[in-house]
Amino acid sequence: MAVIACDSCSVRNRALCGALSRDELESLNAIARFRDFSSGENIHAELDVQNYFANVISGVVKLSKSMPDGRQQIVGLQFPSNFLGRPFGEQSPYVAEAATEVRLCTFNKPRFEALTRNYPGLERRLFENTLSELDAARDWMLLLGRKSAAEKVASFLLMVAERLKDTGCHSDTAPNTRTFNLPLTRADMADYLGLTIETVSRQLTKLKSSGLIEIENFRTVVVKDVGRLEKLAGTTSL
Amino acid sequence: MAVIACDSCSVRNRALCGALSRDELESLNAIARFRDFSSGENIHAELDVQNYFANVISGVVKLSKSMPDGRQQIVGLQFPSNFLGRPFGEQSPYVAEAATEVRLCTFNKPRFEALTRNYPGLERRLFENTLSELDAARDWMLLLGRKSAAEKVASFLLMVAERLKDTGCHSDTAPNTRTFNLPLTRADMADYLGLTIETVSRQLTKLKSSGLIEIENFRTVVVKDVGRLEKLAGTTSL
DNA sequence: CGACACTTTGACTGTAGTCAATGTAAGTGG
DNA sequence: CCACTTACATTGACTACAGTCAAAGTGTCG
């Protein structure tokens, strides 16, 4: 059995590839290629005409939509192990931009789809993945439409803590504590939460003053009491 | 060639079934059954343990999520020809409720999935359908997060006009005019737009005063100038 | 050190929310 | 048939939450 790159992949067991047989994995590995992006780069523009699929290996990718006058809304965040790209030859109707330094494991789209035809389990995984994204989008609709600024920010911190788990960015000992680096600037957080930069900043300050979180260098967040933060977030289900 | 119910189906050419071969259509018809619901009925509760798929034949179904304290957000509306039900044995994580009188064309889920195995085109249609819903959800995220109350209401009217086209509820002569019945109460509109009832009402009044729309009996809307309403909505792409 | 990007903080404003009253229509029962 | 109830919608007065505008703070990089 040949040793392949996937064997040492940091997101292997959580990504789409996790469910593949050895055969399938080797076929997939044969068409895989790493690509690196620096913060702010437009990923669709770089990967020619979106003729690709990809897994996020490290970093965070934001998917966003804008209005003609410049107002922007982030409609999805792809964390390590998440999938990127649109099935069925269509164009993705969002802008994909690296929110941090990003490493992708990319697949040539026609060749990936050829694999899909041989391994129907792959298409099913893709489908299930899309259903999860739909659920996440609708959860976020509840947040955007009905939550207060305080609830939004609390929900966001919990979501990031959850999705950054198992990515090695953690160093938590206490069970009710979470430590992580924010992958987004205040501006991005605002665009994700439907708020302004100032409001996000003020809510973070409030959380700090109340002793619920600590922030170092504007980026490293320590949640001191996950349970209490969940209460503030209004829903447990994000 | 046997005559089947689908031949005279009002949503046949727009629904999932539209892409099926005669063979497939006849198989599907064999397991189809109409079910009627009156406004306010919980559809998941009635159709035993969600063991079903369905097409909306007439009326509108709302999908919603709620917070523990009762705040609610409608996360999707299913119009005639739209599909209802969750693939892969999972439970749908939303509440489905009839917003109006509703007629569904239901399919027993295990038997539908058996068909899926024989006709892979069917699963693909289902997948494409899910991708469209994801796009719609994300478009709505932009509305919820970034649009003003006026833009939200204008966008909503345009969306309804568009999705009610070809359902026989229309009687438009002028090209730049749309007439339709609102399928939602003010309360539902508010829950869909992330607003309060009062704000929705005020925005409608403003549109009436400006002469852009007319409303009869609280339900029948006449849009006098679609182009101008689109400008008010901020984006054309809903 | 200075320039730049990002963040925080403060003072003020405005949009949408809240609370309350009134209006409208449809349905019920005496 | 008409009072009464009920559900839904509109309107008004007031409030508050988040947005806007502006200034100052913090950290990074050349």
Where is the domain boundary, B141, B164, B183? B141
Total number of domains in chain A: 2
What is the rounded average pLDDT of the residues B19-36? 92
For the whole model, what pTM was predicted?
Answer: 0.95
What is the rounded average pLDDT of the residues B200-227? 97
- Residue B84 distance to chain A (closest CA, Å): 13
Q: Looking at the structure, do residues A210 and A194 belong to the same domain, yes or no?
A: yes
Q: How far apart are CA B114 and CA B99, in angstroms?
A: 31
What is the rounded average pLDDT of the residues B216-238? 91
Confidence of residue B19 (pLDDT cuts 50, 70, 90): confident
Neighbours of B173 (CB within 10 A): 6
Q: Looking at the structure, do residues A223 and A192 belong to the same domain, yes or no?
A: yes
Q: Looking at the structure, do residues A228 and A187 belong to the same domain, yes or no?
A: yes
Contact B137 A139 (CB under 8 A): no
Q: Does B129 touch chain A (CB under 8 A)?
A: no
Where is the domain boundary, B90, B106, B141? B141
Whole-number pLDDT of residue B15:
94
Lowest mean per-residue pLDDT among A34-38, B88-92, B99-103: B88-92
Whole-number pLDDT of residue A230:
97
- Residue B71 distance to chain A (closest CA, Å): 7
Which tens digit of pLDDT belongs to each residue from B153-180? 999 999 999 999 877 656 677 789 999 9
pLDDT in tens, chain A (238 residues): 789 999 999 999 999 988 888 998 999 999 999 999 999 999 987 776 568 899 999 999 999 999 999 999 999 999 999 999 999 878 889 999 999 999 999 999 999 999 988 888 888 999 999 999 999 999 999 999 999 999 999 999 999 999 998 776 566 777 899 999 999 999 999 999 999 999 999 999 999 999 999 999 999 999 999 999 999 999 876 5
Asked whether residue B228 is domain-assigned, the answer is yes
Asked whether residue A137 is domain-assigned, the answer is yes
Q: Looking at the structure, do residues A66 and A177 belong to the same domain, yes or no?
A: no
What is the rounded average pLDDT of the residues B38-66? 88
Residues 57-96 of B with CB under 8 A from A: 63, 65-69, 71-73, 75-76, 86-88, 90, 93-94
Q: Looking at the structure, do residues A92 and A168 belong to the same domain, yes or no?
A: no
Domain with B204 in it: 147-233
Which residues in chain A have Cβ-Cβ distances shorter than 8 Å to B139? Answer: 65
What is the rounded average pLDDT of the residues B84-93? 87
Whole-number pLDDT of residue A6:
92
**CA of A205, C1' of C9: distance in angstroms:** 10
Q: Looking at the structure, do residues B177 and B130 belong to the same domain, yes or no?
A: no
What is the rounded average pLDDT of the residues B129-151? 97
Whichever domain contains A124, its CATH number is 2.60.120.10
Whole-number pLDDT of residue B44:
85
Asked whether residue B93 is domain-assigned, the answer is yes
Contact A234 B68 (CB under 8 A): yes
Q: Looking at the structure, do residues A127 and A212 belong to the same domain, yes or no?
A: no
Q: Looking at the structure, do residues B108 and B152 belong to the same domain, yes or no?
A: no
Asked whether residue B194 is domain-assigned, the answer is yes
Largest CA distance in chain B: 57
Q: If DSSP codes are grouped into helix, strand and coil, which group holds residue B66?
A: strand
Q: Looking at the structure, do residues B132 and B15 belong to the same domain, yes or no?
A: yes
Whole-number pLDDT of residue B56:
96
What is the rounded average pLDDT of the residues B149-153? 98
Whichever domain contains A203, its CATH number is 1.10.10.10
Whole-number pLDDT of residue A19:
82
Mean pLDDT of chain B: 92
Q: Looking at the structure, do residues A155 and A131 belong to the same domain, yes or no?
A: no
What's the one-letter identity of residue B210? S
Contact B146 A87 (CB under 8 A): no
C-alpha pair distances (Å), B104 with each of A126, B33, B99: 28, 8, 13
